[in-house]
């Protein structure tokens, strides 16, 4: 049963309260906060707040079925779930609706939890060479969010998270169903739904082709000792399967599955959050790092990566730059015309690395969905975002996953060490010698609803200053240079620094990102002047 969500909901009063709320609380369709809302990674919420309840999933699943019917997607739908407490119930609800709508649903054997990248991989394999009878997928996950949260996202036939046009359609249709209490939603019993679904070997199919994208033999032939912490998530059965390959010298350091995530150290704010980019949340693995050459971690749906070596937890920005520099020198079959994708708040060290290889940078707004088409078409060699999410092409330049793959990036860290003899932090130190040493920070500032709305009205002309932190402003962007898409905020750049600002979709704040190649004092000056400039235009 390892890899299944343990059946001890009843043993936890908190979990039982949460699950009761999922079934019993009815969202108010007239309350905007309780309606279906798709952000950059699907619809998320909590049953206790009437933002992730059975009616939300009934409505979303029926809307997905309607969308498939409209688009003539008649292939299988791959349905995955993570280990959050609400995920199993939401998965069951979704399955009951999809089967009632005659969708051919593929689930893991024994209803095992299923990682996001494995669903993406399954979609791509099913659709290879096809133009009709296309497959798609749904994943029940709120990613690294706290245990009480739930989430659901839809992946289109290109294997990646649906773009804004698609999620907007699904959101609108789902809210129509929500408005009439889901009376028009089709459903069957759970027993009938489980009988109708077909089993799919997600893990076997994924691992069977891993050597087409990462050099497993190099890892096997090294003397590296690897540790992996799934952080109570869907990567557990994947790492367990990989650990059976004795040549990889891999130990799974935490095999606990607990819907309350009680084993997790609290994050910086005291909340439980399975964030593999947080030194606080990663305390367990950091305390064990001396046992391994490289220790690896993933969030609950395994779409993010955490890399630990003797120097500690790597900053995700730093590791992404290491990955790109390494891949551009160790994938000789890749075309020189392939672009490197980054979000506009990812470190500018990436810009310098890409330029040093005379490659083209493809800079997009926040959200991995902006990389999907490029990865799918084999035009982007790599797509990465500052929050530790990335994927890249196979050795022969084909799409591996078009959603973030945390397991893949962890294995790439091992390949880099095996091939170069450098731990990831040591490799980054070499990049610093070559390109400079940036310092990066993100802060939050309070914002009213009116101020948050004002971000949409910003343009390059909104910034009247000619200088920022003592240097000439070289660019002001409200659309991304790579694809021209609106960034939902603004980015102001100089030769050795920049700041970007965008409103939060869920809180009364806006986020300011800044980076300087001139040290901490200059970074603080960037942040201070950014707040001053924004106060004039919001």
User: What is the set of domains in the chain, with CATH numbers?
Assistant: 13-205 (3.40.120.10), 209-435 (3.40.120.10), 439-537 (3.30.310.50)
Q: Please, what's the b/e burial string for 285-294 (b: 16 or more CB within 10 A of its CB; e: otherwise)?
A: bbebbeebbb
> What's the half-sphere exposure (Cβ side, CA atoms, 13 Å) at 345?
24
- Contacts of 391 by beta carbon, 8 Å cutoff, 6+ apart: 117, 371, 375, 382, 383, 400, 401, 402, 403, 404, 405, 408, 409
> Would you say 233 and 300 are in contact if contact means Cβ atoms under 8 Å apart?
yes
The Cα 284–Cα 228 span in angstroms is 11
The conformation of residue 280, written as its DSSP 8-state character, comes to T
Which region, left, alpha or beta, applies to residue 392 given φ > 0 means left and ψ of -120 to 50 means alpha? beta
3-state secondary structure of 249: coil
Regions in the chain scoring below 50 on pLDDT: 1-11
- Least Cα distance to 526 among 484, 504, 495, 505 occurs for 495
| Distance (Å) of CA 437 to CA 321, 356, 420, 517 | 12, 16, 21, 6
* Alpha-carbon torsion, ordered 266, 233, 229, 226, to 10 deg: -160
Catalytic residues: 143
CA distance 25 to 404: 33
DSSP per residue, 41-61:
TEEEEEGGGTSS-HHHHHHHH
Query: Cα separation of 396 and 445, whole Å?
Result: 45
Only one residue has tokens 């060290």, namely 349
Residue with token string 């893949």: 408
CB 136 within 8 A of CB 378: no
Q: What is the pLDDT of residues 397-441, one digit of tens each?
A: 999 999 999 999 999 999 999 999 999 999 999 999 999 999 999
Task: Please state the three-class secondary structure of 124-190 as a single string.
Answer: HHHHCCCCCCCCEEEEECCCCCCCCEEEEEEECCCCCECCHHHHHHHHHHHHHHHHCCCCCCCCCCH
- Residue 124: Cβ within 10 Å count: 22
**Separation of alpha carbons 161 and 372, rounded Å:** 7
Name the token pair of 10: 């009843």
The residue ranges of DSSP E strands in 413-528, in sequence order, are 439-446, 467-468, 471-472, 475-479, 486-494, 497-503, 509-516
121 burial class (0-12, 13-18, 19+ CB within 10 angstroms)?
A: buried
Distance CA 5, CA 61 (A): 22
Phi, psi of 121 (to 5 degrees): -60, -40
Closest C-alpha to 21, from 51, 42, 43, 44: 51
Contact between residue 434 and residue 428 where contact means Cβ atoms under 8 Å apart: no
Place of tokens 């004039």: 536
Environment class of 495 (CB within 10 Å of its CB; exposed 0-12, middle 13-18, buried 19+):
exposed
Q: How many CA atoms, within 13 angstroms, populate the side-chain half-sphere of residue 291?
A: 16
Residue 121's nearest CA partner among 212, 251, 57 is: 212
The one-character DSSP state at 282 is T
Q: Check residue 9 and give its pLDDT.
A: 37
Percent composition of the chain: helix, strand, coil (DSSP 3-state, to 5): 40, 20, 40
- Helix (H, G, I), strand (E, B), or coil: what is residue 11? coil
Model's pTM, two decimal places?
Answer: 0.95
* pLDDT attached to residue 8: 36
Which residues are within 8 A (CB) of 165 and not within 5 positions of it... i.e. 6 or more apart?
none
CA-wise closest residue to 294 among 242, 384, 219, 350: 219
101-138 pLDDT, tens digit per residue, is: 999 999 999 999 999 999 999 999 999 999 999 999 99
Which residues, in sequence order, are CB contacts of 53 under 8 Å at separation 6+? 21, 22, 23, 25, 26, 27, 47
Q: What's the pLDDT tens digit per position in 293-338? A: 999 999 999 999 999 999 999 999 999 999 999 999 999 999 999 9
Which residue reads 């069957």 in tokens?
A: 188
Q: Name every residue whose Cβ is closer than 8 Å to that of residue 46 and which is 6 or more positions away in sequence.
A: 18, 52, 86, 148, 149, 150
- What are the residues whose beta carbons fall under 8 Å from the beta carbon of 116, sequence distance 6 or more? 80, 139, 141, 234, 301, 302, 303, 403, 404, 405
């Amino acid at each position: 049963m390892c890899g299944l969500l343990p059946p001890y909901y009843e043993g936890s009063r908190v979990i039982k309260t949460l699950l009761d709320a999922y079934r019993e609380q009815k969202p108010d369709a007239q309350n905007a906060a309780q309606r279906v809302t798709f952000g950059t990674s699907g619809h998320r919420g909590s049953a206790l707040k009437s933002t992730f309840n059975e009616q939300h999933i009934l409505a979303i699943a029926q809307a997905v079925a309607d969308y498939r019917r409209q688009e003539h997607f008649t292939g299988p739908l791959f349905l995955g779930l993570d280990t959050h407490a609400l995920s199993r119930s939401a998965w069951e609800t979704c399955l009951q609706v999809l089967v009632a709508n005659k969708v051919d649903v593929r689930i893991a054997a024994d209803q095992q939890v299923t990682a996001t990248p494995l669903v993406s991989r399954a979609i791509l394999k099913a659709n290879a060479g096809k133009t009709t009878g296309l497959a798609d997928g749904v994943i029940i996950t709120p990613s690294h969010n706290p245990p009480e949260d739930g989430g659901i996202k839809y992946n289109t036939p290109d294997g990646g998270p649906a773009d804004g046009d698609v999620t907007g359609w699904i959101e609108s249709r789902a809210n129509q169903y929500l408005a009439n209490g889901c009376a028009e939603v089709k459903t069957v019993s759970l027993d009938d739904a489980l009988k109708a679904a077909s089993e799919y070997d997600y893990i076997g199919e994924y691992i069977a082709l891993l050597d087409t994208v990462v050099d497993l033999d190099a890892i096997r032939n090294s003397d590296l000792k690897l540790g992996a912490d799934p952080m109570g998530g869907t990567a557990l059965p994947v790492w367990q399967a990989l650990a059976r390959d004795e040549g990889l010298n891999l130990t799974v350091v935490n095999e606990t599955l607990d819907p309350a995530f009680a084993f997790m150290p609290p994050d910086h704010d005291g909340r439980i959050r399975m964030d593999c980019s947080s030194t606080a949340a990663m305390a367990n693995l950091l305390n064990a790092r001396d046992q391994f050459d490289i220790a690896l971690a993933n969030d609950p749906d395994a779409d993010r990566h955490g890399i630990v070596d003797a120097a500690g937890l790597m900053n995700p920005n730093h590791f992404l730059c290491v990955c790109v520099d390494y891949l551009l020198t160790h994938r000789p079959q890749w075309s020189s015309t392939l672009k490197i994708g980054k979000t506009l708040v990812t470190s500018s060290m990436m810009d310098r690395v890409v330029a040093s290889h005379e490659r083209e940078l493809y800079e997009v707004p926040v959200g991995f969905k902006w990389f999907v088409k490029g990865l799918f078409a084999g035009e982007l060699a790599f797509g990465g975002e500052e929050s530790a999410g990335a994927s890249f092409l196979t050795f022969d330049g084909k799409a591996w996953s078009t959603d973030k793959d945390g397991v893949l990036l962890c294995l790439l860290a091992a390949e880099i060490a095996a091939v170069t003899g450098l731990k990831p932090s040591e490799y980054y130190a070499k990049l610093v010698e070559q390109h400079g040493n940036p310092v990066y920070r993100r802060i939050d500032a309070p914002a009213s609803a009116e101020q948050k709305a004002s971000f949409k009205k910003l343009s390059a002309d909104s910034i009247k200053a000619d200088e920022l932190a003592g240097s000439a402003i070289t660019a002001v962007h409200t659309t991304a240079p790579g694809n021209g898409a609106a960034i939902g905020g603004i980015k102001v750049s100089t030769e050795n620094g920049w700041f970007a600002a965008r409103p939060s979709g869920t809180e009364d704040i806006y986020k300011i990102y800044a980076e300087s190649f001139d040290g901490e004092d200059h970074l603080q000056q960037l942040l201070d002047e950014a707040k001053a400039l924004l106060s004039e235009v919001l």
